[in-house]
Each structure stands twice: as C-alpha cells, then as structure tokens.
Amino acid sequence: MKKLLTATTALALVCGAAAAEVTVGGDARFGLSYDSEADNQVSVHQRFRAKFSASGTTDGGLAFSGEANINSESGAAADGVVSVSGAFGKLAFGALDAADTLAGGIADVGIKGIGVDDVAEGGLRNYTDSGNLILYTQSFGSLNFGVSASPGVTPEDGADPSVSDDDTFAVGMNFTASGMKIGLGFDSEETVSLGASYTTGQITASAYFAERDGDDGAGVDVSYSMGATTVTLVAATNSADVNGFGMGVSHDLGGGASLVAGFAQVPGAVAGEDKNGAEVGLTFAF
C-alpha cells in the first residue's frame, strides 16, 4: 500500500443555484531509482497525474461528487469515483480502497515506494482499486466505520473482474483519541488486520499486523520531524521468513515541492534472496 499525497488547486465554476464546483489539481514526481537486481540498475522515473473533481449539493442538502485522474505512466484516464453523502454517511462507487484499509498500515520510503510495506501488507490486503468497488463510510465522533463490496471480483483475480462471479467484501473501523489511532479490519478471505499509530510532538510511530489461514505479516515505522525535514525508519516481516527494512528522508521545499530520498532492502525475485533499492528525486503537489 503506497501512501501518496495529492493536493488540489481550485478552478471554481458556479452553475446557477446548484452551486456546482469543478476543481483541477494533480501531483508529479521525478528522480533516479536504483535496483540491485535489474539489468540496468539505475533508471530515470517520472510521473504526472492530473486530477479532475466535481461536486454539488441538491436543494435537499444531499452532496454529490465525482473525480477521475489522467496518469502519464499509463497515458490514459484512470477509473473514476462517484459518491453521494449526507447525514446517512457516504456511499462511493469506483476505484477505491476496500474498507479494511481503515485498520491502518505502515509507511514506505522513496519517491514512488521501494516496497518495504509490501512485506507486511502484500497478499494480506483485500482487493483494492478495482474500479468495481462499492464503499460505505460513516463517522460517529472519533469512530470511523466502513464496509465495502466488489461484486464479481476476488483478491486472486487481479484486475480482471470477469474471471470470477464471486463477491469480495470487507469491513473496517478506526478510533482516534489523544494522538492515538487504533484500527481493525476483516475481509471475505477471513483476513484479520490490526493497526495502531501514535503521534507525540515531533515523533509519529505506526504498527500493523495481519493474519489469514496461518499466514501473517507485521511491520512498524517511526518518523521524526525536524522543522521542514522528516526522517522515517520502517521494518517489516512475514511468516515466510521474509524481511524488509528501509530509511527515508523528506525535506519540504515549500509551495508543494519536496526533496525525497530513500534506501531499502527488500525481498528479491529469487526466493530467499534480498535486493537493495534506492530512490532520490523531487515530488510536487499542485
């Protein structure tokens, strides 16, 4: 699970009494990547994403919205998201993360992510971002709850919903109090996931654990902020005796730009062997 930040700059269009709003924003990144296993160990990476969002409110107070991305990596528009919300909560349809991600997770390092978090979370997350997901969320004060379903998709089917007629579902919740967040998730593959994070002053720490049919994964991360600079350490392991660790540094340059670097050791393509990865570059939020 990659934690990427997207900021939007608004281009507002007011359409009569409906007061609909359209916004355009996005993010970008570029830099160098190192992979000790690759034939070309050093490569150039770049990506730009444009995000288009629209929202409005009915006369009765029902809010509705939609969004879609154009990604330079794929050269096409990504699956969109459409939602309605009100006092009943929020009901969303499209390319979404499943509800069990409310349990939390751990950080990754680098400009696009080297994959330390995948050691703990990979294979134990419910199906996400299928473009075919229905997600309901509701908040009760500090308690957030969600339930999702992806009709005709199973976690093993990958990106092709036509492979199976099975339905995938997930539930998740988290509770926040005094700088601490505790989360719990469960899915139709009988995966149980637990997450926790705590922030005090300049330090933030997170932990994650998931288990399914005797397979499990766990990880922790700690971040320390010194003014505009944040240093992150992350480590993960799983029941296949696979481990990963990494260190990342991010420096806020202001205006939505950051200088980012990371180094990690993660599982390689050959079972039982590790590989080293590193990334350095700039990220931008528009």
**Length of the chain, in residues:** 286
Q: What is the pLDDT of residue 254?
A: 97
In a domain, 1, yes or no: no
Q: Which amino acid is at 236?
A: A
Domain CATH for 279: 2.40.160.10
Residue 18 covered by a domain: yes
Beta strands at 215-226 and 229-238: parallel, antiparallel or unpaired = antiparallel
Q: What is the pLDDT of residues 20-61, one digit of tens each?
A: 789 999 999 999 999 999 999 999 999 999 999 999 999 999
Q: Is residue 103 part of a domain?
A: yes
Identify residue 243 by its one-letter amino acid code: N
Q: Confirm whether 277 is domain-assigned.
A: yes
Number of domains in the chain: 1
65 domain residue, yes or no: yes
d(CA 76, CA 50): 11
pLDDT of residue 234: 98
pLDDT band at 11 (very low <50, low <70, confident <90, very high): very low
Q: How confident is the model at residue 15, as a pLDDT?
A: 41
Q: What is the DSSP letter of 240?
A: T
10 Å Cβ neighbour count for 277? 26
Does 60 map to a domain? yes
Q: For residue 268, what are the domain limits?
A: 7-285
Q: Which helix (H) or strand (E) holds 187?
A: strand 180-187
In-domain check, residue 2: no
Grade residue 172 by pLDDT with cuts at 50, 70 and 90: very high
Residue 3 has pLDDT above 60, yes or no: no
Scan for tokens 């005797």, then name that residue: 214
82 vs 188, more confident: 82
Within 10 Å of residue 71's Cβ, how many Cβ atoms?
A: 15
Residue 181 contacts residue 196 (beta carbons within 8 Å) = yes
Q: Is residue 214 part of a domain?
A: yes
Burial class (CB in 10 A: 0-12, 13-18, 19+), 211: middle
10: which DSSP letter? -
Of 236, 230, 235, 180, the C-alpha closest to 210 is 236
Mean pLDDT of the residues in the chain: 86
Per-residue confidence band for 12, with pLDDT thresholds at 50, 70 and 90: very low
